[in-house]
């Protein structure tokens, strides 16, 4: 099962407690560790986390700097543990705007965990769904221009392989914390048939117990992928 999470509400969680927004993000990073740890037990094979969107650069400079510092710390401090836990880490998003220090750590983590067979963890940093589709389209256009790819070979399946998620399965469930009910440019292409769970809890309040009950709720839903399943009484004799 693949779960995508929009980790929203760190800032509000902190502000409500009279704390600086960055304290909320720090709590958020601690929460990431707990949730990642619980995935194998809960049957989650792939986890995609929305850590920083292409729009997040518009935030106050000190908050952007603080978030980047937090990502650096997370990548550096969790490298060994993630590898020990057999987690395979990949990154989604446009890396070109990220600092060289972060890029080096991302590359190190990706290479180190490449052969791991446990949880597939995707971290979306400087990610936007539309941006991802545009970058994929440019790559496809370049291949068509060079004669490497024929226009008729551009199918949905082929198109997906040009996205940052490459050949990974689409998310079965997308969770967003902190009460907002929108996708905010997260997995725009990949979410076509995803189920959604919008929770009131902020990300620092998203405990493994809340995660578990959200997954239980998902498993009780019927998924039809656009197909109409006829009722027994409607079936031809
Ligand atoms: C949204 O809360 C959260 C973010 C923009 C950042 C998410 C980052 C983390 C959880 C920290 C670390 C992540 C990793 C992968 C180590 P918000 O600031 O928009 O909250 P608000 O809506 O209450 O202001």
Name which of 69, 123, 76 is nearest 95 in CA terms: 123
Q: pLDDT for 33-71, tens place per residue? A: 999 999 999 999 999 999 999 999 999 999 999 999 999
Structure tokens at 112: 């180190």
Q: Give the atom of ligand 1 at the shortest distance from the alpha carbon of 56.
A: 5
**CATH code that applies to domain 2-220:** 3.40.1180.10
Q: pLDDT for 80-119, tens place per residue? A: 999 999 999 999 999 999 999 999 999 999 999 999 999 9
Residue-level pLDDT at 223: 58
Give the span between the Cα atoms of 224 and 221, in whole angstroms: 10
Task: Tell the residue nearest (CA) to atom 10 of ligand 1.
Answer: 28
Name which of 123, 126, 133 is nearest 192 in CA terms: 133
Could you tell me if the CB of 203 is within 6 A of ligand 1? yes
Residue-level pLDDT at 229: 52
Residue-level pLDDT at 234: 42
Residue-level pLDDT at 221: 82
Q: Give the atom of ligand 1 at the shortest distance from the alpha carbon of 21.
A: 18
Give the span between the Cα atoms of 218 and 185, in whole angstroms: 22
List the catalytic residue out of 10, 38, 56, 164.
Answer: 56
Could you tell me if the CB of 29 is within 6 A of ligand 1? yes
**Percent residues over pLDDT 90 in the chain:** 92
Write the burial class of residue 46 (CB in 10 Å: 0-12 exposed, 13-18 middle, 19+ buried). buried
Q: pLDDT for 180-232, tens place per residue? A: 999 999 999 999 999 999 999 999 999 999 999 999 999 998 556 666 554 43
98-103-107 Cα angle (round to 5):
150
What residue ranges do the domains of the chain occupy?
A: 2-220
Residue-level pLDDT at 222: 59
Give the span between the Cα atoms of 124 and 50, in whole angstroms: 5
Could you tell me if the CB of 7 is within 6 A of ligand 1? yes
């Amino acid at each position: 099962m693949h779960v995508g999470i929009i980790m929203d509400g760190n800032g509000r969680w902190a502000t409500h407690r009279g704390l600086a927004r960055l304290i909320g993000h720090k709590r958020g990073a601690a929460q990431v560790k707990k949730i990642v740890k619980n995935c194998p037990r809960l049957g989650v094979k792939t986890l995609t986390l929305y850590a920083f969107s292409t729009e997040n650069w518009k935030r106050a400079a000190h908050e952007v700097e603080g978030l980047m510092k937090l990502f650096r710390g997370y990548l550096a401090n969790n490298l060994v543990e993630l590898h020990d836990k057999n987690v395979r880490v990949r990154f989604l998003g446009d890396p070109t705007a990220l600092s060289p220090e972060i890029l080096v750590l991302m590359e190190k983590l990706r290479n180190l965990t490449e052969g791991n067979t446990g949880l597939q963890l995707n971290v979306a940093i400087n990610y936007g769904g539309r941006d991802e589709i545009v970058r994929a389209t440019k790559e496809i256009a370049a291949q068509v221009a060079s004669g490497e790819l024929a226009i008729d070979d551009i199918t949905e399946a082929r198109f997906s392989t040009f996205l940052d998620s490459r050949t990974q399965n689409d998310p079965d469930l997308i969770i967003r914390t902190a009460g907002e009910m929108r996708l905010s440019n997260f997995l725009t292409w990949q979410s076509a048939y995803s189920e959604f769970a919008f929770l009131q809890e902020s990300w620092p309040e998203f405990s493994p117990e809340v995660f578990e009950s959200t997954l239980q709720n998902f498993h009780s839903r019927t998924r039809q992928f656009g197909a109409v399943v006829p009722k027994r009484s409607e079936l031809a004799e």
